[in-house]
Amino acid sequence: MPTSASLANRVIKAIESVTGQCDPAAHQQYPLHEPQFAGNEWNYVKDSLDSTFVSSVGPYVNKFEQMLADYTGAKHVIAVTNGTAALHISFMLAGVSRDEEILLPSLTFVATANAASYLGAIPHFVDCDERTLGIDPQALRTYLKKCTEIRAKQCINKNTGHVIRALVPMHTFGHPADIDGLMAIAHDFHLNLVEDAAESLGSSISGRHTGTFGLLGALSFNGNKIITTGGGGAILTNDAELATRAKHLTTTAKLPHPWKYEHDQIGFNYRMPNINAALGCAQLEQLDNMLALKRRLFERYQRAFAGVPEVTVVQERVGCTSNYWLQTLLLNKTNSHKRDAILAATHEKGILARPAWQLIHTLAPYRHCPHMPMEVAKMLERRLINLPSSVKLMK
């Protein structure tokens, strides 16, 4: 078995063969993911500035929403300030109330759980599948059969007495979850399905875009996503009534009037500003090219690591198209204890790889929350490493 140092050196050499960082004196850093502005960004942002419409009213917001609808196939899109806001409102519209539970993966970014907590809801953490990195439908079905019962078409947690209202698949690093299996669970256990598609713009399942299978879906356009609006997110839905409510709630629940300030419920100042949407329109025009570059980058990493049998480069499943947002290594089980040594060595070389997130059910704010056994998630937490994934590496 190779030592941690020897495996780390071979990982670094494989990465350097892709990034081109082979000169020890170069001291160049390779971030995990940085945006690329190579289109109309300057022109559209300047146009927004010149128009003075830089806030949440302006033509670029409408244009960006329509472009996203055309691209994803969603009938309705509401652009908001960030992906967490998109999840927050989506959970509200899915009928989640205080003290109700939401099933979501422990292997996800903390925003998924935070958005549930904003409503006073209770995250209920579930395990994932090594094939997809998302929620494991078979394990979840077995678990729910044991710990829940259906009363009046509601799923009740027998241990807590709380209603379990929603199921939230997350498409990890852009790789689609097993959405068919999870939709079947949502149907059988009377759960509303809300997709956390924050990382998966450009990913699809049998030709259908992620984020469009559930009642609602949430996208993110943070600075590290495949396209960015600086900060930003979007709600996707095929339900016209939900779309109208989403737009109303995210616009401070203000009733339309030329001058009156009348608000009919507690709303949120969540609408995406026009200047951010201008940036998004320019980015979205380049998405197809970015996806092609991401795929080529994956192929380079796959070739580079072909001679390192201790690791596997995570690949899209048959029937799915991944956007390959973050290129990801999976250490084999016998080498999982070497992850931190590899990360320390890569960072010393200026290669800013990172581990997966710490499992949310182990974080201080969420240790009290219900969760199923997490054997696969615990294993993946120790074995996953995200590699530098910027499209700039393909220049």
- If asked whether residues 88 and 182 sit together in one domain, one would say yes
CATH number (domain holding residue 13) = 3.90.1150.10
- Report residue 150: phi and psi, to 5°: -100, 125
Q: Does 307 lie in the same domain as 275?
A: no
**CA dist., res. 43 & res. 49, Å (int):** 10
Please give the Cα distance from 221 to 241 (Å, whole number). Answer: 25
Query: What is residue 57's predicted lDDT score, i.e. its pLDDT?
Result: 84
Q: Which amino acid is at 106?
A: S
Query: 3-class secondary structure for 228-273?
Result: CCCCCEEEEECCHHHHHHHHHHHECCECCCCCCCCECCCCCECECC
Both 72 and 214 in a single domain? yes
Tell me what pLDDT residue 249 has.
Answer: 98
User: pTM, whole model, 2 decimals?
Assistant: 0.96
Indicate the pLDDT class of residue 298, thresholds 50, 70 and 90. Answer: very high
Q: Do 147 and 87 have their domain in common?
A: yes
Q: Are residues 241 and 378 in the same domain?
A: no
User: How much is the average pLDDT of 307-324?
Assistant: 97
pLDDT grade for 27, boundaries at 50, 70 and 90: low
Average pLDDT, stretch 329-336?
A: 97
d(CA 100, CA 172): 25
* pLDDT tens for each residue of 211-231: 999 999 999 999 999 999 999
Buried (b) or exposed (e) across 31-47, using 16+ Cβ within 10 A?
ebbbbbeeebbeebbeb
* 119 in the same domain as 16: no
Closest by CA to 121, choosing from 141, 92, 149, is 92
With b for 16 or more beta-carbon neighbours within 10 A and e for fewer, the 297-323 pattern comes to: bbebbeebbeebebbebbebeeebbbb
| Residue 290 pLDDT level (bands cut at 50, 70, 90) | very high
CB distance 31 to 37 below 8 Å = no
**How much is the mean pLDDT over the chain?**
96
Q: pLDDT digits over 105-160, tens only?
A: 999 999 999 999 999 999 999 999 999 999 999 999 999 999 999 999 999 999 99
Q: What Å distances lie between residue 354 and 89, 343, 382, CA to CA? A: 30, 7, 12
- Do 294 and 197 fall into the same domain? no
Asked whether residue 299 falls in the same domain as residue 270, the answer is no
CA distance linking residue 31 with residue 219, whole number of Å:
22
pLDDT for residue 2: 76
360: containing domain = 4-37+287-394
Examine the fold and report which residue of 264, 284, 304 is the final residue of a domain before the chain moves on.
Answer: 284
Q: Is the pLDDT of residue 165 over 60?
A: yes
Residue 312 sits in the same domain as residue 324 = yes
Please write the tens of the pLDDT for every residue from 61-118. Answer: 999 999 999 999 999 999 999 999 999 999 999 999 999 999 999 999 999 999 999 9
Q: Please check whether residues 230 and 164 belong to one and the same domain.
A: yes
User: Do residues 49 and 67 both lie within one domain?
Assistant: yes
pLDDT number for residue 365: 98
Counting the structural domains of the chain, the total is: 2
Pairwise CA distance, residues 376 & 189, whole Å: 23
Of 268, 284, 300, the last residue of a domain is: 284
Q: Are strands 163-167 and 192-196 parallel, antiparallel or unpaired?
A: parallel
Verify that 31 and 47 share a domain, yes or no. no
Which of 284, 301, 325 is the last residue before a domain boundary?
284
| Enclosing H/E stretch for 50 | helix 41-51
CATH number at residue 128: 3.40.640.10
Coil, strand or helix: which one is 214? coil
Query: Which is higher by pLDDT, 26 or 343?
Result: 343
For the residues 185-190, what does the mean pLDDT come to?
Answer: 98
- How far lies 321's CA from each of 51, 177, 202, 243, in Å? 39, 11, 8, 27
With 0-12 / 13-18 / 19 or more C-beta atoms within 10 angstroms meaning exposed / middle / buried, residue 69 is middle
Residue 286 pLDDT exceeds 70: yes
